[in-house]
Amino acid sequence: MLALVFPGQGSQTVGMGRFFFDRHPVVREVFARADAVLGMPLSHLILEGPAFDLNRTVNTQPALLTVETALSRLLAEEGIRPRAVAGHSLGEYSALVAAGALDFEDALQLVQLRGRLMEEAVPDGAGGMAAVVGLEAAVMERLCREAGGTVEPVNYNCPGQVVLAGENIALGRAVELAGEAGARQCVRLKVSGPFHSRLMRPAGDKLAQALSRVAVRDPQVPVVTNAGAAWAKTGREVLEALVVQMYSPVRWEDSVRLLLEAGIQAFVEVGPGRVLSGLIKKIDRQARVFNMEDDSFWEKGLAEFKGVA
């Protein structure tokens, strides 16, 4: 059984999706629709940059959603029928569009708003994020408590990899403690705020207002949500998950394990880069992982999974 997984912010690159844009009308149609809905040349920004503008959160989020939706529709045209879908942070919106729970047009406007709210939630320079490699989650939770202030794990990505977010002083102290505890690597991330931390709660409340005006349907394909690492089976569950996701940790490791327990044997990463592919292999070395940019998928995986749910 096959699941589609959708990456989040940080996977974006100028030119992402161009190979498919040049070859498949369905991809060009999705790009053109995004331009029309947002009233801006988003497709030009995706394909040509500049990188500085593409990397602004308010632009990155609709850009990734557009590329990932275009690629998932290409897969649908090719006869790929996933048994389940999941997305990492922003990628959850792409998963929900693929599952039929959200219209692409509504999702575009929501993620643009989401990006703006995330940028505005905390004063510039007051908060940030850091990735810690080599310490278990329970250790990082303890170190965050010892650091004082507001800092917490916000991405449980795979065994031994946790991302922290919070106020800069507390975050710096937690990173220092992690180094003293034997972390192999501590890297401050180039992001504009402490995403998924409780400092995002005001942004989540504002997003909830916008979501209340959007049609959210029951998913046609099972979806695993970030915050709960649980199945969302109804539109109400989807709605609640998107609000809570703003200020709650992304439990990616638990999400992947839930998919594996449900019988998923193969994953296709639908989007630029191979971040999720790498994480999934660290969670389960036996999992079969494909990326749409891999020749192996188009040569072998496509034929194998066409029409298989």
Active site positions, annotated: 89, 196
Q: How far apart are CA 156 and CA 144, in angstroms?
A: 14
Q: How far apart are CA 111 and CA 96, in angstroms?
A: 12
Per the CB < 8 A criterion, the answer to whether 10 and 275 are in contact is yes
Helix (H, G, I), strand (E, B) or coil at 5: strand
Tell me the C-alpha to C-alpha distance, in Å, between residue 293 and each of 95, 290, 297, 302, 304. 18, 8, 8, 12, 17
Q: How far apart are CA 80 and CA 26, in angstroms?
A: 15
φ, ψ for residue 186 (rounded to 5)?
-135, 120
Residue 243 host element (H or E) = helix 235-245
For 171-200, the DSSP string reads: HHHHHHHHHHTT-SEEEE---SS-TTSGGG
